[in-house]
Amino acid sequence: MATEKTQYDDFIVKGFIISALVWGVASMTFGVIIAFQLVYPQLNLELPWTSFGRLRPLHTNAAIFGFALSVIFATAYHTVQRLCRTRMWNDTLSKIHLALYNLTIVLAAITLPLGYSQSKEYAELEWPIDLLIVVWYVIFFANYLMTVIKRKEEQMYVAIWFYIASFVTVPLLFIVNNIVIPAGLLKSYSVYAGVFDANIQWWYGHNAVAFVLTTPFLGLMYYYLPKHIKQPIYSHRLSIIHFWSLIFIYIWAGPHHLLYSPIPEWLQTTGMVFSIMLWMPSWGGMLNGFLTLTQAKDKIKVDATLKMMLAAVTFYGMSTFEGPLLSIRAVSALGHNTDWIIGHVHSGTLGWVGFMSAAALYYLVPRLWNSNLYSEKLANAHFWLGTLGILLYIISMWVSGITEGSMWRAVGENGELVYKDWVEIVEFLKPFRLFRAIGGTLYLTGIVLMVYNFIKTIQNKDSGFVEQDLRIGVKS
């Protein structure tokens, strides 16, 4: 009987894990830099490519499409082979995907600071890079789908459902939003204009969050959480209901980004209603995660990976409550375009995506390199630094955002704005934004500790990995 190592292609999983670590440190470093630039403008320097306006899209692209997408691909390649009980359909296609994907991120890291941009949120890259993305995405998806088709396991576990939904929807969003007319090698114009352009953009933008930062990480949760605690998911039926309701509702919620804009009122209301409806499936998934975790509640005290999973599910619940709340017109009128939105976004990305990614990596690295984790203490330090960093970040942004929105809306007895000078508001918000930058620095420090922990673990490769039992201190 063939061993698991010879049966499965783990080279590709290792490749994307390394990509995740490199782009994770890079993206979060840029995030910390631009956070301090908002407090100390002199840090923008005099070079255009070091300014906030150039580094901010680099940060978001590296974080979402460099770090998060690397984790998605690593876990997708790892889980599909185990759940289908078969090797990837074509190892060469996997390697081509890895190479072209990383080439794309490098090109993004070059072009964005130089100012080559389509100026669309999460879709800044110019058309030649977009075409390169299409090439490697088709290669990846064909390989993934053929692996599922030739599977030896008849039943498809729900994790694969979430991954497939993501991999089908993302190209639809990407292609529709990025239809442009080239006007040079690194210049193009969108075929859309006006409110139609705005509506297409936020249909794409909102669902990029849905199908890049939510559904694949739910697939990740449904696989690695029960695997780590060696217990089944609390409710398979709930996971299926969670899947179909989330997939149906999420796609229609985009217009809530355009409240009080010129798009038709019925469309704004549709986006708001579907956003509020998202509470139900989102919290269904959160409860499934929590109830699964209760089967190993004693281990949470000593297991950093499980702590991260618990925190990730908690932040998922918080973010999916706050998102629908912010889609309500009266709340949006206060919060839209303020720091509150930044806090909301990072509650989800740092708490849900960041911690769930870290948990998956802590699960994978020791097993793939056949070595026990170098230091559980460092992993616990990573967790506490990350948690403290997130809390500093989001609480400061909540306070800053509500203060900012209130100052914008403040009117005197004559109906005139109380704070006419925008710079006055910016100066008032500096302390909150400094706390945000400090919180980001703490989170980045935790990531650096994780990378160091993994380097030491990999250096000790093939020393033998010993699986820990659920009972504290017992080895299986």
Q: How far apart are CA 449 and CA 53, in angstroms?
A: 29
Residue type, 409: R
| 382 annotated ligand binder | no
Q: How far apart are CA 105 and CA 153, in angstroms?
A: 35
| 257 annotated ligand binder | yes
Q: How far apart are CA 324 and CA 317, in angstroms?
A: 11
DSSP 197-247: HHHHHHHHHHHHHHHHHTHHHHHHHHHHHHHHHTS--S-HHHHHHHHHHHH
| 97 annotated ligand binder | no
Lookup: tokens for 286: 């959160």
Under 8 Å between Cβ of 111 and 54: no
Which residues on adjacent β-strands are paired with residue 468? 475
Count the alpha carbons within 13 Å of 156 in the hemisphere toward its beta carbon.
16
| 256 annotated ligand binder | yes
DSSP 331-392: HHHHHTTSHHHHHHHHIIIIIIIIHHHHHHHHHHHHHHTTB--S-HHHHHHHHHHHHHHHHH
DSSP 33-79: HHHHHHH-GGGG-S-GGGSHHHHHHHHHHIIIIIIIHHHHHHHHHHH
Question: Which residue ranges are tagged as binding site?
Answer: 59, 206, 256-257, 344, 346
Question: Which residue ranges are tagged as binding site for Cu cation?
Answer: 206, 256-257
Question: Which residue ranges are tagged as binding site for heme b?
Answer: 59, 344, 346
